[in-house]
Structure 1
Amino acid sequence: MTTHRFVATEWHNVLGTLPPAIRVASGDTVITETLDAWGIDKDDIKRRPGPNPMNGPIFVAGAEPGDALKVEIVRMTPNRATGWTRSSLAGNVVDPEAVRELPSREPVTWAIDRQAGTAQLREPVAGLEHLVLPLEPMIGCFGVAPAMGQAFSTATSAENGGNMDYRGFRPGATVWFPVAVEGALFFLGDCHAIQGDGEIVGTGIETSYEVEVRLTVEKDRRLVWPRGENATEIFSVGNARPLDQALQHATTDMFNWLKSDYGLSSTAASHLMGQVVRYEVGNVYDPAYTMVCKIEKKWLPAR
């Protein structure tokens, strides 16, 4: 197994069947530096227009349609002293009559203290003069090429992943994507220093990161939607609009996962999910919303 340092020289605003930027073997580790959502690098140089320019695609040898690509998020290290967010809630997350009361959506800068692991507004807002947030790095947009030669914008998400903006995509998490093309063609970018559930201002604290991931092909693991796990939970991800459809996708995937991998009957899976499932909201700003269905591992039967 090899560690590759992937220095991107071009970036993409779609996830699709594009020429590979790098080829790796299953089980290899890739270290790469991402751009922020506007295409700005660690040196504050704009390299590519937004939204969410992706590094890649990374071709993983042996990956074929019907397999799953296992992505272990090993490490995320901030490599810039600033980030930015919008200044207002998005209009679609408040009541219609409240939209006129929202402030300007002008971007503001946050200072990132990489040694302390914190972020705070560079120009404090009244009432938030002493607000200091701990860094909680996460990947906003990543995934694999979709089927049938499609190319999906990095502004949205689907079965192949994409712009899901789920806070659980953080170091220590493992994520599986359904492979639809040879080599999987993995894309990665749009990292956040911290973000609230839903990305309800349309951004997290957008900045650049050095990211380390391990990519492994799991043969004949036929997935429909992205799945993940961390030290304490497993989770299924559904991407769609309206929000109830995203929830249905995530719930159905968890139901099927419990039956196929944990040996539960439909009745047993229903009982378990009915009492111990927890939901989290990923993105509720972009064209497709993201819902996450979670179960703590302590409730799962032994495999």
Structure 2
Amino acid sequence: MTSHRFVPDRYYNVIGSLPPALHVADGDTIITETLDAAGYDKDDVNRISGPNPMNGPIFVEGAEPGDSLKVEILTMVPTRDTGFTRSVVAGNVVDPRDVRGLPESRKVFWDIDRKALTARLAEPVSGLEAFTLPLAPMIGCFGVAPSLGQAISTATSGEFGGNMDYRLLGPGATVWFPVSASGALFFLGDCHAVQGDGEIVGTGIETTFEVTVRLSVEKKRTIIWPRGETADDIFTIGNARPLDQALQHATSEMLRWLETDYGLDRTAASHLLGQVVRYDVGNVFDPAYTMACRVSKSWLKRR
């Protein structure tokens, strides 16, 4: 197994079947530096316009349709002392009668302390003068080429992954994507220093990172929607609009996982999920919403 330092010479605002920028073997590790969601690098140089420029695609030898690509997020190291967010919640997350009362949203900047691993507003807001957040790095947008040769905007998401903005997709997490194209064609970008559930202001704290991932092929492990796990939980992700459809996708994928890997039939899985499931909102801002169906590993025993 080899470690590759991947320095892109171009970036993409779509995830799709594009010429590979790098070929790697099954099990190789990739270290790469990302741009922020607006296309600025660690030196605050604009390299491409937004939304969410991606590094890639990375061709993983041996990956074929019907397989799964296993992505282990090993480390995320911030590479810049600034980040940005929008200043006001999106109109679609409040009652319609309250939309006109929202201030105009603008771009605001945050100072990132890379030693203390904290972030705070560069210009303090009344009532939040001491507001300091611990960093909780996550990858906002990543995935593999969609089926049918499609190239889909990094503004949205689907079965292939994409702009899911789920806060558990950070260091220590493992994620599986369904392979639909030879080589999987993996893309990565749009990293956040911090983000609450829902990405309700339309951003996390958008900044740049050095990200290390390990890419492995799981042959004939056919899945439909992304799956993941942390030290404590397993989760499945559905991306769609309306929100109930995203929840349905995530729940169906969890039922399939509990059956194939944990030996639970639909009745047993229903009893389990009915009492212990947790649903997390990944985002309710993008064209497709993201829901995660999450179960604590303490309730599970693999076959």
Q: TM over 0.5, yes or no? A: yes
> Does the CA-based 8 Å contact 2:263-2:302 persist in structure 1?
no
Give the secondary structure class of the aligned counterpart of 1:259. helix
- Take 1:266 and 1:53, find their aligned partners in 2: how far apart are those partners? 40
- Take 1:7 and 1:185, find their aligned partners in 2: how far apart are those partners? 16
Partner of residue 194, structure 1: 194
The reply on whether 1:272 has 2:288 as its aligned counterpart is no
- Take 2:270 and 2:128, find their aligned partners in 1: how far apart are those partners? 45
Number of matched pairs: 303
Give the secondary structure class of the aligned counterpart of 2:140. strand
In the TM superposition, residue 57 of structure 1 has moved relative to its aligned partner by 0.2
Partner of residue 29, structure 2: 29
Give the secondary structure class of the aligned counterpart of 2:64. coil
Partner of residue 17, structure 2: 17
Partner of residue 156, structure 2: 156
- Take 2:115 and 2:31, find their aligned partners in 1: how far apart are those partners? 21
Partner of residue 147, structure 2: 147
Partner of residue 221, structure 1: 221
Q: What is the TM-score normalised by the length of structure 2?
A: 0.99
Partner of residue 297, structure 1: 297
* Partner deviation per Cα, 1:183-219 (whole Å, 9 max, x = no partner): 0000000000000100000000000000000000000
Alignment map for 1:165-180 (pairs within 5 Å)? 165-180=165-180
In the TM superposition, residue 101 of structure 1 has moved relative to its aligned partner by 1.2
CA RMSD of aligned residues (A): 0.5
Give the secondary structure class of the aligned counterpart of 1:282. strand
> Does the CA-based 8 Å contact 2:261-2:302 persist in structure 1?
no
Q: Which stretches of structure 1, 4 residues or more, deviate above 3 A after TM superposition? A: none
- What amino acid maps onto 1:90 in structure 2? A
In the TM superposition, residue 130 of structure 1 has moved relative to its aligned partner by 0.5
Q: What is the TM-score normalised by the length of structure 1?
A: 0.99
Partner of residue 86, structure 1: 86
* Partner deviation per Cα, 1:135-154 (whole Å, 9 max, x = no partner): 00000000000011111100
Give the secondary structure class of the aligned counterpart of 2:237. strand
- What amino acid maps onto 2:50 in structure 1? G
In the TM superposition, residue 252 of structure 1 has moved relative to its aligned partner by 0.6
Alignment map for 1:57-136 (pairs within 5 Å)? 57-136=57-136
In the TM superposition, residue 103 of structure 1 has moved relative to its aligned partner by 1.4
State the identity as a percent: 71
Unaligned 5+ runs, structure 1: none
* Partner deviation per Cα, 1:164-199 (whole Å, 9 max, x = no partner): 000010100000000000000000000000001000
In the TM superposition, residue 13 of structure 1 has moved relative to its aligned partner by 0.3
In the TM superposition, residue 260 of structure 1 has moved relative to its aligned partner by 1.1
In the TM superposition, residue 301 of structure 1 has moved relative to its aligned partner by 2.3
In the TM superposition, residue 14 of structure 1 has moved relative to its aligned partner by 0.3
* Partner deviation per Cα, 1:232-258 (whole Å, 9 max, x = no partner): 100000000000000000001101110
In the TM superposition, residue 302 of structure 1 has moved relative to its aligned partner by 3.3
The reply on whether 1:260 has 2:260 as its aligned counterpart is yes
Partner of residue 45, structure 2: 45
- Take 1:265 and 1:24, find their aligned partners in 2: how far apart are those partners? 38
In the TM superposition, residue 49 of structure 1 has moved relative to its aligned partner by 0.4
Unaligned 5+ runs, structure 2: none
* Partner deviation per Cα, 1:39-81 (whole Å, 9 max, x = no partner): 0000000001000000000000000000000000000000000
